Structure 1
Amino acid sequence: MSSPVQLPYPTIIALSRQSSTPVYLQVVHQVINAIQRGFLSGGQQLPGTRAMSLLLGIHRKTVVAAYEELDAQGWIITVPNKGSFIKPASGPSGKKKLDVLRLTGYPAKAGFYFKRNTILDIAEEPGPAPTFTDGQPDYRLSPTDQLARYYTAALRRKVNRKHLGYHMPGTSFFKAQLSNFLNSTRGLHIAPKNILVTRGTEMSMYIAAQTLINTGDIILVGTPGYYTANMIFQQSGARLKTLPVDDEGILVETVERICKKQPVRLLYLTPHHHYPTTVVLSAERRVQLLKLSAAYGFIILEDDYEYDLHYQGSPILPLASADTEGMVVYLGAFGKTLAPGFRAGFLVAPDNLITEMQKVQAIIDRQGDTIMEQVLGELIAEGEIHRHLKKTLKIYHTRRDHFCGLLEKKLGTELELVLPPGGLAVWTQWKQEISLLRVSRACAAMGLQLPRLLLYQNTQLSAMRLGFGNFTAPEAALVLDKLQQAVEQMREH
């Protein structure tokens, strides 16, 4: 075995006093890093513990602990009265020119080919507040104290400990309560066996797409439409065909015309409040779609989007409530008015389809969140969710009227809007000469985030979907002042 080689160990072993990793482990990790990259070769002697401590400027006991750990892991061999040596490699090895970045930094790029997916490209991450959203609720209105009490009680119950291991989502208690809630509020006639509990609407869409769609299948969607759903369908290999949308929802005549020419696998709808335009699909068109679905054999994937958020009269019952042929798959999220972390998604379908969907779910979500399901189930059983909905609905109704009133006052000459009957966003149509992207950039310069996903502008359309639910009255005044300034700046340039 050779004598210690005078290498620049402080360069190989770069220590950080600010790191949460103990210093001796930093030494261990970086010596291993150097061995794996060939900077320290098999049989090479390391400096003694005293010499290494002087080289690195650390205590000798720290070096002793590092050497012991390296020995225990099999990276070095310690020979009494001789020293510590790098364990010889089984294959050929050789020293390489030292490279500080390679030793201390993670590779910036993969060294192999992988498929890049442009379908799943989404808009930028939300920035700091204030931020326009596409209609997100105000998490500050969530009954956190009530949820905390339910969580504490659920965790203390010994009977719930059996749910802390691997367990398919959807406890019998929650599914029973959820089926009661959906039956009473949506006019459904389902049992717990007709429900698949998921982590959220997007997971429900993904499971439905993986189960129902084959490569090349034709899927009908509204335009403008819900970008997330479109991405999920395209990722599953579907061919999208768009349907025009007017003030009564999608045009049923277009659906029938397409069905007469070619087979259609599925029609995706957000009938209660079409995304993004917020229009409600008329009762007459709902009946027509159910008849077309039975006649041509296409699935109706009905998204329960914002069903609980309706301000004027009673909401129209979903298509699933009138489905007698088993052609409608109903999905949504329970707890839309709660914070995103306190929600559960669901799929409603005939028994045999639920069984098949469970196979897909078992691959991506084996455990679910059974304690949260217990809490959400108790919100239903105790009637708390109804009280919460009634309270927040009044708040969001007031916020809608205030926001839309201010918007018309400040920017009424630049846009047109129709007061949405429900939901947490308003659809605004702007003058075509206004560059919405430039407005977004001007907003960003003033500290207001207006994400690109809210902008819909092409040669036929110039519109924004602006969420109001997450703004109090003073916050709404602030963001709309900045939006007005951004439009004025765009006009000036």
Structure 2
Amino acid sequence: MSSPVQIPFQSMVIIDRSLETPVYLQIVHQLINAIQRGVLIPGIQLPGSRALSQELAVHRKTIVSVYDELHAQGWTEIIPNKGTFVSSKSPAKRSDSLKYNTEFLTSYPSTTGFQIKQNILLDVPAVGSNATLEFTDGLPDIRIAPLDRLAKVYGGILKRKSSHKHFGYSHVEGNEFYRDTLANYLNNTRGLHITRQNILTTKGIHMSIYLAANLLIDKGDLVVVGDLSYYVANMIFQEAGAGILPVSVDEDGISVEAIKKLCETRKIRMLYLTPHHHYPTTVTLSAERRLELLSLSVQYGFIILEDDYDYDFHYSSSPVLPLTSADRHGMVVYIGSFCNSLAPGFRSGYLVAPENLIRELGKLRRIVDRQGDMLMEQALGELLEEREIQRHLKKAVKIYQERRDSLCQLLASELGEYVSFSSPSGGLSIWTKWDPALNLMRISKNCAAQNLHLPQKLLYQTENVTAIRLGFGNLSLPEMEQAIEILKYSVEKM
């Protein structure tokens, strides 16, 4: 057995005085680590507090505290008149205390010691960037969100004597007050006829799609999407075991004729739509096609998953009502959120469906998000009730329309020889088609060098498509001018 003198504690224990962790706890953690990994074996004697304090250049009281903590946790045992020893109950049974590696003791494993599944379906392009300017996927400007009012309402809820009810486990479908006010809001703005029993609250559109796919899709089912379609939704469907069937999209939206032909030869389980503004091309599904799709869904029995991610932003006229507003047979599952209406950080989504489906989805949500965010839902419910969100949206639509018009003007005047586009009737993005001779990835890299982030996920370049989805909602007018100036420079540098 090694004696205390033979163990090089000075090399084994690394003290970093810049950390917030107290020095004695740093020593405790590293000694426990050494015991757990067999560097300090059971029964070995530790140096006296004076000797170890001198070796580690710390105060003797620090080592006394170290030994007290080790003993309290059961890692050491004290034998009267002999000293402190590593507990014989330690799980490490064999090791050479001199064959240690400091990095081994202070680092965390970089890989698992067991095999794991690596899912390439869920790989997405990196989104991080230090650039101060960015074209997004169609995100809102959080600078104009009613954060002050939200903070006051949220803080007021916390101060109420009745707030304790929001801290317990909640109703499985979400905050009942919020679902009541949300049902009224959706009835007034989307032409629905629902109650809170038809609403499940979620943490955003992605969670809603995931829950719906997990419950409604079995391995081998077929899901029809637009060509092109929302890549995250496609990933979720494929992860659930579905096969993806893309069909063409034109200026009136997804092709009903193509879907009908598929239904005549194959069993379709689900149709995923972003009808208000198709993702990524922003075209609106015509009213005629909406009714035809509802009829087809009844005839062939497929589910319509309606993702209404930016319904609140429409500029020229009243928006076409969602398919679910005309659904008389319970074929549509409707998804929306306030993430785009307010700010992405407000992870507040919702799913609308017949009551029997909401109950089953609620059971599924309970095992991944039992509580939800009852406080935030209460705050959003109160903002809806006092019409603060409605006033914000009315103001925001005017701001975003001005930004849409500005971006269209800048694209036409500065980049007209390279790009073509149509001004969208709503939403926070423009679908731009570019000269096929251009390399979009190289343009993106040129932009990055000039402090403009043009994310890879916005770029669409194949044999048939050379396009960029340019989000404008997050950019002020001066920022947009600067961004287009950089984009023009990056294109001309090709």
Asked if these proteins are the same fold (TM beyond 0.5), I'd say yes
SS at match of 1:341: coil
Q: Do the aligned partners of 2:440 and 2:459 also contact (CA within 8 Å) in 1?
A: yes
Please tell me the residue identity of whatever aligns with 2:430: V
Partner of 1:210: 214
Cα distance in 2 for residues equivalent to 1:36 and 1:343:
41
Cα distance in 2 for residues equivalent to 1:42 and 1:266:
61
Cα distance in 1 for residues equivalent to 2:317 and 2:439:
37
Q: What CA deviation, in whole Å up to 9, does each residue of 1:345-368 have, x standing for no partner?
A: 111111111111111101100111
Partner of 1:257: 261
Q: What CA deviation, in whole Å up to 9, does each residue of 1:136-155 have, x standing for no partner?
A: 00011111111111011111
Q: What CA deviation, in whole Å up to 9, does each residue of 1:465-487 have, x standing for no partner?
A: 01100000111111111111111
Q: What CA deviation, in whole Å up to 9, does each residue of 1:409-451 have, x standing for no partner?
A: 1111111011011111110000111000111111122222111
1:123 aligns with 2:122: no
Aligned residues: percent identity?
53
Q: What CA deviation, in whole Å up to 9, does each residue of 1:119-143 have, x standing for no partner?
A: 0001112313212211000011111
SS at match of 1:460: coil
Q: Do the aligned partners of 1:5 and 1:44 also contact (CA within 8 Å) in 2?
A: no
Partner of 1:164: 167
Q: Do the aligned partners of 2:125 and 2:456 also contact (CA within 8 Å) in 1?
A: yes
Structure 1: runs of 5 or more not aligned: none
Cα distance in 1 for residues equivalent to 2:302 and 2:461:
31
Q: Do the aligned partners of 2:298 and 2:329 also contact (CA within 8 Å) in 1?
A: yes
SS at match of 1:51: helix
1:148 aligns with 2:151: yes
Cα distance in 1 for residues equivalent to 2:343 and 2:139:
9
SS at match of 1:313: coil
Partner of 1:31: 31
Q: CA deviation at 1:90?
A: 5.5
Q: Do the aligned partners of 1:5 and 1:45 also contact (CA within 8 Å) in 2?
A: no
User: 109, 112, 123: which is aligned to 2:111?
Assistant: 109
Q: CA deviation at 1:407?
A: 1.7
User: 367, 374, 378: which is aligned to 1:374?
Assistant: 378
1:220 aligns with 2:224: yes
Q: CA deviation at 1:82?
A: 2.0
Partner of 2:485: 481
User: 287, 302, 316: which is aligned to 2:291?
Assistant: 287
Q: CA deviation at 1:21?
A: 1.1
Please tell me the residue identity of whatever aligns with 1:336: N
1:64 aligns with 2:64: yes
Q: Do the aligned partners of 1:49 and 1:63 also contact (CA within 8 Å) in 2?
A: yes
Q: Do the aligned partners of 1:38 and 1:93 also contact (CA within 8 Å) in 2?
A: yes
Q: Do the aligned partners of 1:127 and 1:449 also contact (CA within 8 Å) in 2?
A: yes
Q: Report runs of 4+ in structure 1 exceeding 3 Å deviation.
A: 89-92
SS at match of 2:54: helix
* Structural mapping, 1:53-92, within 5 Å: 53-88=53-88, 89=90, 92=93
Cα distance in 2 for residues equivalent to 1:229 and 1:335:
16
* Structural mapping, 1:458-473, within 5 Å: 458-473=462-477
Please tell me the residue identity of whatever aligns with 2:125: A
Cα distance in 2 for residues equivalent to 1:335 and 1:50:
60
SS at match of 2:201: strand
Q: What CA deviation, in whole Å up to 9, does each residue of 1:47-100 have, x standing for no partner?
A: 111111111111111111111000011111122332211112456312262111
Partner of 1:357: 361
* Structural mapping, 1:54-453, within 5 Å: 54-88=54-88, 89=90, 92-95=93-96, 97-128=99-130, 129-167=132-170, 168=172, 170-334=174-338, 336-453=340-457
Q: Do the aligned partners of 1:126 and 1:449 also contact (CA within 8 Å) in 2?
A: no
Please tell me the residue identity of whatever aligns with 2:209: M
Cα distance in 2 for residues equivalent to 1:311 and 1:11:
68
Q: CA deviation at 1:337?
A: 2.2
Change (3 A) 1:91 1:414: closer
Cα distance in 2 for residues equivalent to 1:92 and 1:470:
60
Structure 2: runs of 5 or more not aligned: none
Q: Do the aligned partners of 2:42 and 2:92 also contact (CA within 8 Å) in 1?
A: no
Please tell me the residue identity of whatever aligns with 1:333: S
Cα distance in 2 for residues equivalent to 1:447 and 1:243:
37
Q: Do the aligned partners of 1:169 and 1:370 also contact (CA within 8 Å) in 2?
A: no
Please tell me the residue identity of whatever aligns with 2:149: Q
Q: Do the aligned partners of 1:169 and 1:367 also contact (CA within 8 Å) in 2?
A: no
SS at match of 1:85: strand
Cα distance in 2 for residues equivalent to 1:141 and 1:155:
24
Q: What CA deviation, in whole Å up to 9, does each residue of 1:167-191 have, x standing for no partner?
A: 2351111010000000000000111
Q: What CA deviation, in whole Å up to 9, does each residue of 1:14-70 have, x standing for no partner?
A: 111111111111111100111111111111111111111111111111111111000
Change (3 A) 1:2 1:230: closer
Cα distance in 2 for residues equivalent to 1:324 and 1:52:
79
TM-score by length of 1: 0.97
SS at match of 2:467: strand
Cα distance in 2 for residues equivalent to 1:422 and 1:347:
22
Superposed CA RMSD in Å reads 1.3
SS at match of 1:17: coil
SS at match of 1:119: helix
Cα distance in 1 for residues equivalent to 2:447 and 2:345:
29
Please tell me the residue identity of whatever aligns with 1:475: E
Q: Do the aligned partners of 2:447 and 2:490 also contact (CA within 8 Å) in 1?
A: yes
Please tell me the residue identity of whatever aligns with 1:63: I
Please tell me the residue identity of whatever aligns with 1:207: L
Q: CA deviation at 1:335?
A: 5.3
Cα distance in 2 for residues equivalent to 1:319 and 1:93:
69
Q: Which moved more, 1:169-178 or 1:329-338?
A: 329-338
Q: Do the aligned partners of 1:455 and 1:463 also contact (CA within 8 Å) in 2?
A: yes
SS at match of 2:452: coil
Change (3 A) 1:451 1:199: same
Q: Do the aligned partners of 1:42 and 1:86 also contact (CA within 8 Å) in 2?
A: yes
SS at match of 1:42: coil
TM-score by length of 2: 0.97
Cα distance in 2 for residues equivalent to 1:339 and 1:22:
39
Q: Which moved more, 1:4-13 or 1:344-353?
A: 4-13
